[in-house]
Amino acid sequence: MELVLSIGIGIMTGSGVWLILRPRTYQVIIGLSLLSYAVNLFIFGVGGVKSNAAPLLGEGVDVSTLTDPVPQALVLTAIVIGFATTALFLVVLLAARGLTGTDHVDGREQPK
């Protein structure tokens, strides 16, 4: 489990880092989204990886067997905020493209 998840995190991080180093704004926005998946999964994973132990209290559930709810609470808001920042970034990039006429991250094409 842990192995698969951490390979997945590694691949998402690598893809994300590669993309945010690219010159086109759209690549950067996709890269940031991938990075945020990776980071969310990482934070979530810090709390321990268990199946069938959702932090829901019920009758006769042993509390000590449940997963850690704190990283989950952190990640939950991070997901929503991540959406908001993606939206903000998208709009900034659209506005920048409107003003500068290019979708290069510097606002102008790099001289060859």
Partner 1 sequence: MILVLLVCLPFAGSLAATVLLKTDSRVLAARMSGGVTFVALVLTAMLYPAVRDGGKVRLDLEWLPQLGLNVTLRMDGFAWLFAMLVTGIGCLVVLYARYYMSEEDPVPRFFSFLLAFMGSMLGIVLSGNIILLSVFWELTSIFSFLLISYWHHNAAARDGARMALTITGIGGFCLLAGLLVLGHIVGSYDLDVVLASGDQIKAHPLYLTALMLILIGALTKSAQVPFHFWLPNAMAAPTPVSAYLHSATMVKAGVFLLVRFWPALSGTYEWFMLVGIAGISTLILGAYFAMFQQDLKGLLAYSTISHLGLITTLLSLGSPVAAVAAIFHMMNHATFKASLFMAAGIIDHETGTRDMRRLSGLLKYLPITGTLAMVASAAMAGVPLLNGFISKEMFFAEAVETHADSVLDRILPYVATLAGAFSVAYSLRFIHMVFFGPEPTDLPKPKPHEPPHWMRFPIEFLVLACLVVGIIPSLSIGPFLHSAVVSVLGDRTPEYSLAVWHGINTPLIMSLIALVGGAALYFVMKDYLAKCDDGPPLFRHLGGQRIFERVLVTVSWKWARWLESHLGTRHLQPQLRLVAAAGLLAGVVPLYLAGFSPRPPTFGAVDPIFAAVWCIGAFCALGAAYQAKYHRLAALVLLGGAGITTCITFVWLSAPDLAITQLVVEVVTTVLLLLGLRWLPKRSEKVDNAVSLAARSRRFRDLLLAISCGLGMFVFSYAIMTQPVPDAIASYFLDKAYSEGGGRNVVNVILVDFRGFDTMGEIAVLAIVALTVFALLRRFRPAPDSIEKPEQQRIQNAYDDARPERSEGDTVRDYLLVPSVIMQWMFPVIATFAVFLFLRGHDLPGGGFAAGITMAIAFLLQYLAGGVRWAEDRLRILPLRWMGFGLITAAATGIGAWLLGYPFLTTYSQYIEVPLIGKVPAATALLFDLGVFSLVVGATVLILIALAHQSIRTHRVRSLEAQKAEET
Which 46-105 positions form the footprint of partner 1 (CB under 8 A)?
46-58, 63-64, 66-70, 72-73, 75-77, 79-88, 90-95, 97-99, 101-103, 105
Q: Which of residues 22-51 bind partner 1 (CB under 8 A)?
A: 22-24, 26-27, 29-31, 33-34, 37-38, 40-42, 44-51
| Cβ–Cβ < 8 Å for 91, 19 | no
Amino acid symbol at 50: K
Number of residues located near partner 1, criterion CB under 8 A: 89
Amino acid symbol at 64: S
CB of 70 to partner 1, least distance (A): 6
Angle between the 69-100 and 25-46 helix axes, to the nearest 10 degrees? Answer: 170
Angle between the 2-20 and 25-46 helix axes, to the nearest 10 degrees? Answer: 150
Contact call for residue 6 and partner 1 (CB under 8 A):
yes
